[in-house]
Amino acid sequence: MKERERGVVSGMVVLMLLFWLGFLFHRSPRFAGSFWGGMLAVAGTLLMLVPLAYLIVKRIPPLKKAATRRVSMQTLLVLHIYAGVLGPILVILHTGHKFESPLGVALTAMTLVVVLSGFAGRYLMNQFRQTIGEKKEILTRLEAAYRQTAGELADHPEQMAALRPLAGFSGRLAAGLLVATPGFGPGAVSVSVRALQLAESMADLEYAIKTHENFKRWFGQWLKWHIVISFILYALLALHIWAGIHFGLRWFS
Ligand code: HEM
């Protein structure tokens, strides 16, 4: 289910970026103010308000209780995600690529940033979590194999002595070269080389896990940023609507 959601949402995000990039080839200064341009703006804005409704329902307990009697928060989140991409697609079509006023440009840029931040938080964070889990599993297996090899090594003091010069930084580099030597298939390796190979793999894995965990920590702040930039987007949107009504009504009077 989640895979399907990711596929569909990725396709929609690519479509949104393609529609936005259309400004390189096309510009229609009158479309945004036309009937169809206006319809796209209203529909897109209503859809973009769905994530705001999600925030209100999620954070006001009586509303959350009433809503979750009929539909799960998970379903509401999926609704937020689809509305949060479809709305921006419609408002980008509404612009007719008329990116002239600073407010219009800022509003379009913020819309793209909020959608991309939602996308990154929803799918990349999960990817990190999954990758770390898989790597930790492999590391546990390698550690068990290493413990067994270390036990075997204890029965071969001469091989243990051969490993001693490989301790330390330069020794570790030399060990890397030794381990990379062709012809050392699993059947052919001595206990000491097997121990070196396992230690090398474990060090690489630990490094990869640490890097992924750093990304995960960084992404831990993600929701806060997603909310902050969403509110900047809503403020710009309100200003844009106010300007449209203000100047629109002035033209009529
Ligand atoms: C117009 C576009 C969007 C706006 C204005 C928006 C706004 C928001 C807001 C205000 C929240 C905070 C909800 C809360 O925790 O109270 C939120 C959460 C979230 N958003 Fe968006 N969002 C948009 C698009 C997207 C998209 C396109 C995705 C994913 C592809 C997405 C994924 C998420 C996720 C995963 C959460 C966390 C939900 C949770 O943990 O409860 N958002 N969004």
Q: What is the pLDDT along the chain (253 residues), one digit of tens a residue?
A: 688 999 999 999 999 999 999 999 999 989 998 999 999 999 999 999 999 999 999 999 999 999 999 999 999 999 999 999 999 999 999 999 999 899 999 999 999 999 999 999 998 877 777 888 889 999 999 999 989 888 888 887 777 776 666 666 666 666 656 555 554 444 445 777 788 888 888 998 999 988 888 877 777 788 999 999 999 999 999 999 999 888 875 554 4
- C-alpha dist (Å) from residue 166 to 36, 80, 173, 181, 182: 73, 56, 8, 15, 19
User: Do both 120 and 244 map to the same domain?
Assistant: yes
What is the pLDDT at residue 20? 97
206 and 227 inside one domain: no
20 lines ligand 1 (CB under 6 A): no
Same domain, 158 and 177: yes
Q: What angle do CA 27, 29, 31 make, to 5 degrees?
A: 95
Which parts of the chain are beta strand (E)? Answer: none
Same domain, 170 and 138: yes
Does residue 136 share a domain with residue 168? Answer: yes
**Ligand 1 atom at minimum distance from 87 CA:** 1
Ligand 1 atom closest to 111 (CA):
1
In a shared domain, residues 167 and 246: no
Residue 253 in 3-state DSSP? coil
Pair 145, 238 in one domain: no
Cα angle 224, 229, 231 (rounded to 5 degrees) comes to 100
Q: What is the pLDDT of residue 250?
A: 55
62: Cα within 13 Å, side-chain hemisphere: 0
State residue 249's pLDDT score: 58
Number of domains composing the chain: 2
Q: Closest ligand 1 atom, CA of 48?
A: 1
Structure confidence at residue 185 (pLDDT): 44
The best mutation among 72, 81, 108 to test binding of ligand 1, ranked by most ligand atoms within 8 Å of the C-beta, falls on 81
Q: Are residues 111 and 228 in the same domain?
A: yes
Residues 101 and 7 in one domain: yes
Please state, in angstroms and rounded to a whole number, the distance separating the CA atoms of residues 87 and 81: 10
Is residue 192 within 8 A of residue 153, CB to CB? The reply is yes
The answer on 237 and 150 residing in a single domain is: no
For ligand 1, whether the C-beta of 86 sits within 6 Å is no
204: containing domain: 132-215
Instruction: Say yes or no: 183 and 142 in one domain.
Output: yes
| Ligand 1 atom closest to the CA of 73, numbered from 1 | 41
pTM: 0.76
- State whether the beta carbon of 76 lies less than 6 angstroms from ligand 1: no
Residues 87 and 153 reside in one and the same domain: no
Residues 16/118, Cβ–Cβ less than 8 Å:
no
Cα distances from 226 to residues 114, 147, 154, 183, in angstroms, run 7, 45, 55, 52
